[in-house]
Structures are given as structure tokens and as C-alpha cells.
Amino acid sequence: MTLDAAWARRWMTQAAAALADAKDDLTELDRQIGDADHGVNLDRGFRAVVAKLEATPAPDDETVGAVLKLVATTLMSTVGGASGPLYGTAFLRAARVTDRAHLDPPAVIALLEAALEGITARGHATVGEKTMVDAWQPAADAAAAADEGTTREVLAAAARAADAGATATIPLVATKGRASYLGERSAGHEDPGARSTAILLATAVAAVEEP
Ligand SMILES: [Mg+2]
């Protein structure tokens, strides 16, 4: 079972639908500890991604990386706030290591690690600071630990870890990003970027077609 450009396109369609469904919840999380724009920003960005993909016919030799690069440039130009450059950089770095027709398990691990590296290079956050890194880091770690599995199993392990990582941000006090201005009052709220990361990775799994 391998993942190809058609999978990457299905991933983005499903991500856009899931983020549209979660728009109000993400905005409410961001209202509690940020500036209440995360849901709206991501909904706008991923709608634009789907529109861009639909307007860009897939060549027969389309690579996964070509799809992810299109995603990156679209997110960077349409998503405001901190999350646009962070997600944009994540997809741009992921695109660089996926310039091939099919991803095997090591390539899926490389995709996740490259995305994480892009986010940490751009945002300078580390685990425990109540940011999207608290979902991406455990996701990349879990993927690497599941390297004996199928591509779907590797992705599923990453998605489960991202979900748990997002939930685990609730008690944390933010020390990076806008939520850090709240200090101790940021505790008791889930980080919206960590939650949107979990949603994004869940749809990566859902987009895998069963053989
Ligand atoms: Mg915000």
C-alpha cells in the first residue's frame, strides 16, 4: 500500500471539509487564549487549497511533493496570523522530501519529520510550550516508532499521537505565541494549533484508500 498524489489531493479535500466543520470550535479555542481567528483562517486557507487543486489538473506523473508544494504556497498567501507561515513552511519542507510518485513508510516518516522541522525553524517552539509543536513532535516520534507498519499504520500512529498531544496541551501554561501573554491563565484551554494539527493528520489517514 503506497500513498500517491491522488492521496495527497484527497487528503486536502477531506482536511478542508473537516476544518470547515471544526471552524467554530477552533475559533472558540483561539478566543479563549488567542485572537479568535484560527478557525476562520484555516477554513479560508484550505478552501483556497481545494480551489487551487481543482483548477490545477493532475499530470500523469504528478508527485506527492508537487501537490504539497501547491498547498504550501496557497496557505502562505491566504492564511493570516501565525498559522499561515507555520503550516505553509510545514508543507513546503514536506514537499521537498516527497518529490516522488509513491510514498513508502520511510517517506511518510520523512514527510512528518520535515514538516515538524519547518514549524520549529519558523516558530522556534519546543515541546511543552503549548503550541502546534505539542501535536507535531509526538506525531513524528510515533511515526518513526511505527516504521515496521504499512504506510496507513504509520500515518495512523502519527494521527493518534497528535490527538493525544493536542489534548495534553490543556493543562499547560503557554510560554510561546500569543497565548503566552496570558501566563498562568492560559492553563485549562486546549491549544488551537495543536488541535488543528490533530484534525489535519486524522484526515491524512482517512484519505488512504483501503486495498
Ligand atoms: Mg489566532
199 contact partners, CB below 8 Å, separation of at least 6: 15, 18, 19, 22
CA–centroid distance, residue 90 to ligand 1 (Å): 18
Dist. CA 39–CA 81, nearest whole Å: 11
Using DSSP, state whether 187 is helix, strand or coil.
coil
* Predicted model pTM: 0.96
Grid coordinates representing 86 are 507555520
CA–centroid distance, residue 1 to ligand 1 (Å): 38
CA–centroid distance, residue 63 to ligand 1 (Å): 32
Which residue, 107, 23, 2, is CA-closest to 65?
A: 107
Count of structural domains within the chain: 1
**CATH number for the domain that contains residue 190:** 1.25.40.340
Average pLDDT score over residue span 20-31: 95
Residue 80: per-residue pLDDT: 82
Task: Write down the mean pLDDT value for the chain.
Answer: 95
Residue 211: per-residue pLDDT: 61
Helix H or strand E encompassing 129: none
CA–centroid distance, residue 56 to ligand 1 (Å): 30
Per-residue pLDDT of 62-105, as tens digits, reads 999 999 999 999 999 999 888 999 999 999 999 999 999 999 99
CA–centroid distance, residue 129 to ligand 1 (Å): 16
Whether the predicted pLDDT of 1 surpasses 70:
no
Whether the predicted pLDDT of 41 surpasses 90:
yes
Which residue has cell 483561539? 30
Residue 179: per-residue pLDDT: 87
Q: Kindly give the residue spans of alpha helices, DSSP state H, lying in 80-150.
A: 83-96, 105-123, 133-145
Local confidence band at 2 (pLDDT 50, 70, 90 cut-offs)? confident
Q: Domain span at residue 12? A: 3-209
CA–centroid distance, residue 34 to ligand 1 (Å): 5
CA–centroid distance, residue 211 to ligand 1 (Å): 39
User: Is-contact 94 114, C-beta < 8 A?
Assistant: yes
User: Is-contact 184 173, C-beta < 8 A?
Assistant: yes
In sequence order, the β-bridge partners of residue 3 are 103
More confident residue, 211 or 3: 3
Residue 191 per-residue DSSP state: -
Average pLDDT score over residue span 24-44: 94
CA–centroid distance, residue 164 to ligand 1 (Å): 22
Dist. CA 37–CA 53, nearest whole Å: 24
CA–centroid distance, residue 32 to ligand 1 (Å): 10
Residue 85: per-residue pLDDT: 95
CA–centroid distance, residue 46 to ligand 1 (Å): 16
Dist. CA 110–CA 79, nearest whole Å: 25
Average pLDDT score over residue span 194-208: 98
